[in-house]
Chain A
Amino acid sequence: MTPSQVIGQLRDGMSIGIGGWGSRRKPMALVREILRSPLKDLTLVSYGGPDVGLLCAAGKVKKVVYGFVSLDSIPLEPHFRAARQNGTIEAVEFDEGMLQWGLYAAALRLPFLPTRAGLGSDVMRINPQLKLVQSPYDDGEELVAMPALTLDVALIHMNRADAQGNGQFLGPDLYFDDLFCMAAKRRFMTCEKIVPTKDLLREGSVHTLRINRMMVDGVIETPGGAHFTECPPDYGRDEAFQKEYAATASDPQAWKAFKARYLDVANEDEYQKAVRNR
């Protein structure tokens, strides 16, 4: 498959879960392909980073479901901030752990999972749809019923995968990528390199094989596909590029130039070429 074949299967208004965390191991090649597509009115569910910022800046987004949006080394995501402050997107903000719980509930096909997180905080006020549930046991404790965050599509990026869709993370953290896949109806994975199944244990122990083929509907080899977020051990974050990206938020001319140079290109290969030639 190619990124454009994946994104060609998506429709306006879909809810899309994006793996990774902040500015780390984000499926950016697929995000860039969405930028090149006519898709609109998307709902994003993300431990947000530049995936959210880029899609907001490009006017692709109706709603963002998140616990935070950050570029890590730049704490506040400037394009997301602009979208929030200009009121161009709808915000559904949860505690980080509640977001995990919503994905987990969807993964387990449960309507909700109970949690203490959120009680007493403005998470309850700004999400009036949230309801409490009482423990049916003797304790009778009242808890938040975190609703399942069922996704139309999940997009993730792994270090390695085989052609059948078994994925491998070689960095220190899987984040919640398995839950994104299990919470979604359609699941697509990009990876730095597709290797034969028999070679999957060459670079990492069996514990790194946390995405298996029943969680994945399509796998695409996209070297550099997480750029400019980090994808250790294959590469770190491109801090210079991230700075260049962040600076475009306060300057419409700079955004236009950034867009022309890196985003309005024919495909991912052209993007990677533009990055190399800068």
Chain B
Amino acid sequence: MSDVTRAEYCAVAIAETFRGDGEMLVSPIGNLPAIGARLAKLTFEPDLLLTDSVACLLANVLPLGGAAGPAPIVEGWMPYRLVFDVVWSGRRHVMMGATQIDRFGNQNIACIGPFERPKAQLLGMRGAPGNTINHPTSYWVPNHSPKSFVAKVDVVSGIGYDRAAALGKTASRFHEIRRVVSNLGVFDFNTPSHTMRLASIHPGVSIDDVVKNTGFELAIPDKVPETRAPTADELRLIREVIDPKGFGYQEVKG
């Protein structure tokens, strides 16, 4: 399957972050996270709860961006305040973006530069502090570079493993940064001190590429596997059912 694109590897890697979640609300933020979550629901995680990105839970999977598809089947109402309730109850796995992320998984989407007088104001804290203290969180970074994978984030929106550990066992018991997926590879925190580790590398990327584009020391195992390729059925689902207009390919080229 030599014609598999980088975006499709990313979609499968993102889908894999939701494996085992079962009946959880999955909140994917961004196009490829949306594709990955829908792929997971259509294949190995049929029980995932997904919203229409507004206020309804949908029982079926629709294509991205208003492409022709099945009529939505609404299975529930999920306005914002119920989302917060679910966040605090823990039955949710979010995949957020990260303008900056460090080796412990601290994430910044608030601003670049000092908070008091930012060089660039970004989104704000949004739900990141509440997400990371309450339920599994993963990150999607489509532009892996020393500017996004940094030694120290300017502002901590989502908390990483070092900060969670400093809070103690009780406060950190729901904290889990599951995985980080970038355009170069997949990363987890399966090291003794929960620092970021290269878990798999997308085909066509070298370990050198990853190291060069990461602003901190990554844990790199002796053998780094390649990110799993999509199956023929997954490829069909991505191309024909989930993303016929190709929004995923705009987020990651190649």
Q: Does A190 contact B (CB under 8 A)?
A: no
> What separation, in Å, do the CA atoms of A84 and B117 have in the docked complex?
7
Question: When chains A and B are docked, how far (Å) is the Cα of A125 from the Cα of B117?
Answer: 15
Q: Contact check: which of B84, B126, B171 meets A100 at CB < 8 Å?
A: B84
The one of A85, A97, A140 that contacts B87, using a Cβ cutoff of 8 Å? A97
Contacts of B79 on A, CB cut-off 8 Å? 172-175
Whether B127 contacts A76 by the Cβ 8 Å rule is no
Report Cα–Cα, A118/B124, bound state, in Å: 13
Q: For the complex formed, measure the closest distance between the CB of A46 and the CB atoms of chain B, giving whole angstroms.
A: 11
Q: Which residues of B contact A98 (CB under 8 A)?
A: 129-130
Contact indicator B133/A120 (Cβ below 8 Å): yes
**Closest CB in chain B relative to A77 CB, distance in Å:** 9
Assuming A21-B80, A117-B134, is B124 touching A172 (CB within 8 A)?
no
Q: In the complex, are the beta carbons of A84 and B170 less than 8 A apart?
A: no
Contact indicator per residue, chain B 124-145, by CB within 8 Å of chain A (1) or not (0): 1111111011100000000000
Q: With A121-B159, A175-B80 as given contacts, are A116 and B125 in contact (CB-CB < 8 Å)?
A: no
Contact with B along A81-97 (1 / 0, CB 8 A): 10011010001011111
Chain A residue at smallest Cβ distance from B130: A117
Min CB gap A148→B, angstroms: 17
Chain B residues near A175 (CB-CB < 8 A): 79-81
Q: List 16 A-B contacts (CB under 8 A).
A: A67-B126, A87-B117, A91-B115, A95-B128, A96-B130, A116-B130, A120-B129, A121-B128, A121-B133, A121-B163, A122-B115, A122-B155, A122-B156, A126-B115, A172-B54, A172-B56
Q: Closest Cβ of chain A: how far from B129's Cβ, in Å?
A: 4
A183 at the interface (CB under 8 A from B): no
- A244 within 8 A of partner (CB): no
Chain B interface extent, by class? 35 or more
Q: In the complex, which residues of chain B have a beta carbon less than 8 angstroms from the beta carbon of A173?
A: 54-55, 79-80
Closest CB-CB distance, B236 to chain A, in whole Å?
Answer: 31
- The answer to whether A93 touches B124, judged by C-beta atoms less than 8 angstroms apart, is yes
A190–B134 CA distance with the chains assembled, in angstroms:
37
B157: which of A70, A121, A141 is its contact (CB, 8 Å)? A121
The answer to whether the Cβ of B71 comes within 8 Å of any Cβ in the partner chain is: no
From A69, A81, A93, A122, contact of B120 by CB (8 A) = A81
Min Cβ gap B231→A in Å is: 34
A136–chain B nearest beta-carbon distance, Å: 15
Give 5 nearest A-B pairs by CB, closest first. Answer: A117-B130, A172-B55, A68-B124, A121-B129, A84-B121
* B151 vs chain A, min Cβ distance (A): 16
B121 touches A123 (CB 8 A): no
Contact B123 A123 (CB under 8 A): no
Instruction: Tell me the complex Cα distance, A91–B77, Å.
Output: 33
Question: Count of chain A residues with Cβ under 8 Å from any Cβ of B?
Answer: 42
Residues of chain B contacted by A126 (CB below 8 angstroms): 115, 155
State whether the Cβ of A119 lies closer than 8 Å to any Cβ in chain B.
yes
Interchain CB contact (< 8 A) of A120 among B56, B110, B123, B163: B163
A257 to B54 alpha-carbon distance, docked (Å): 34
* Additional A-B contacts beyond A70-B124, A93-B124, A120-B129 (8; CB < 8 A): A76-B122, A116-B130, A116-B133, A117-B129, A119-B133, A120-B159, A120-B167, A121-B132
A76 touches B123 (CB 8 A): yes
Given contacts A21-B80, A116-B171, A121-B163, contact A96 B127 (CB under 8 A): yes
Interface string of B75-89 (1 = CB under 8 A from A): 001011100100110
Counting CB contacts under 8 A, is A196 at the interface?
no
- A96 lies within 8 A of B134 (CB): no
- Select one of B123, B125, B128 contacting A70, CB under 8 A: B123
Assuming the contacts A116-B134, A120-B171, A173-B54, asked whether A84 and B118 have C-beta atoms less than 8 A apart, the reply is yes
- Asked whether any CB of chain A lies closer than 8 Å to the CB of B199, the reply is no
Interchain CB contact under 8 A, B88 and A115: yes
Restricting to B159-175, which residues have a CB under 8 Å from any CB of A? 159, 163-164, 166-167, 170-172, 174
Given A95-B130, A116-B130, A116-B134, check contact A85 B123 (CB 8 Å).
no
Complex CA–CA separation, A125 to B163 (angstroms): 13
Does B119 have its Cβ within 8 Å of any Cβ on chain A? yes
Specify which of B110, B119, B124, B132 lies most central, judged by the most chain A CB atoms within 10 Å of its CB.
Answer: B124
Q: Are A81 and B130 interface neighbours, CB within 8 A?
A: no
Which residues of chain A have C-beta atoms less than 8 A from B159's C-beta?
119-121
The answer, yes or no, to whether A245 is at the interface (CB within 8 Å) is no
Q: Report B-chain residues with C-beta under 8 Å of the C-beta of A68.
A: 123-126
Given A98-B130, A116-B171, A172-B54, A76 and B115 contact (CB-CB distance below 8 Å): no
Encode contact with B along A146-188: 1 for CB under 8 Å, 0 otherwise: 0000000000000000000000000011111000000000000
